Structure 1
């Protein structure tokens, strides 16, 4: 692991520190772009990976963050039924512009602006979970209760 963080990862580390968290962003030697790669890199179950997916609210055009367990696929119909938000796909340019990170490294925190956040209750089954930290090879470990506090997210059954 590299000791010096890239700027995007440092922004995540600074956010965590500013919010009183002792979590440490770790830059890994290999890719953590996918949930499978991330789980392999840290030696955990794929379900412990908190993957951050950005969608577009079809009505407002605003970004919507879904933090899902790496073991689950998101059912957008379930999210719409629970929240009333109609989700559309967000391309790479939209993601970078709205939240400030590239796909594959989007963290659940430290975005350019506040985003509506939906959380997968499956993540609550684990003592520890891992989330992306701004680059396709950086992560940080946290607990699901901390994820809720840091993101102000809402728990919604969303797995297919």
Structure 2
């Protein structure tokens, strides 16, 4: 069943099944490396796309799963979380922390656990979509499944 998936997406698929999440990874014909592209390809609202954004905070990676309709206010989020600064990770830092390239970062399947924040705005959607390990792969899940999968802290991110 997963033979047609890229290796990174097969790993994500396995982590989803281990977590009890039934959503299948969908391979899109064109890259959906932004929320707008993913939403258009799937025919859903951009807010239902769970963007995986990697930052560096207090010397460690921080994954923020934000609604595609939001931009992360790093100063406000750092204050809410009681952290020092939050800065965007470089492409090399993203790949080192997640094993995925920018545009395809999944919320799971990382080499090591990553502290994760989940945008409270994603709760407004019955079904959300996240990257499946490559810019061409995505999968559906619920808000509660995303929180359970990532062990994330729910917060306002914008």
TM-score (norm: length of structure 2): 0.95
How many residue pairs are counted as aligned between the two chains?
Answer: 156
1:148 deviation in Å? 0.5
**Kept in 1: contact 2:39–2:45 (CA 8 A):** yes
**Kept in 2: contact 1:3–1:27 (CA 8 A):** no
Alpha-carbon separation, structure 1, partners of 2:31 and 2:94: 19
1:3 deviation in Å? 7.0
**Kept in 2: contact 1:48–1:70 (CA 8 A):** yes
**Kept in 1: contact 2:21–2:141 (CA 8 A):** no
Structure 1 unmatched runs, 5+: none
3-state DSSP of counterpart to 2:109: coil
Alpha-carbon separation, structure 2, partners of 1:110 and 1:120: 20
TM-score (norm: length of structure 1): 0.94
Match of 1:82 in 2: 80
- RMSD over aligned Cα, in angstroms? 1.3
Alpha-carbon separation, structure 1, partners of 2:96 and 2:150: 19
Alpha-carbon separation, structure 2, partners of 1:55 and 1:84: 15
Alpha-carbon separation, structure 2, partners of 1:56 and 1:80: 11
Residues 73-112 of structure 1 mapped to structure 2, 5 A cutoff: 73-85=71-83, 86-112=85-111
Which segment is superposed worse, 35-44 or 17-26? 17-26
Superposed structure 1 runs of 4+ greater than 6 Å apart: none
Residues 1-160 of structure 1 mapped to structure 2, 5 A cutoff: 4-57=4-57, 59=58, 61-85=59-83, 86-159=85-158
**Kept in 2: contact 1:8–1:101 (CA 8 A):** yes
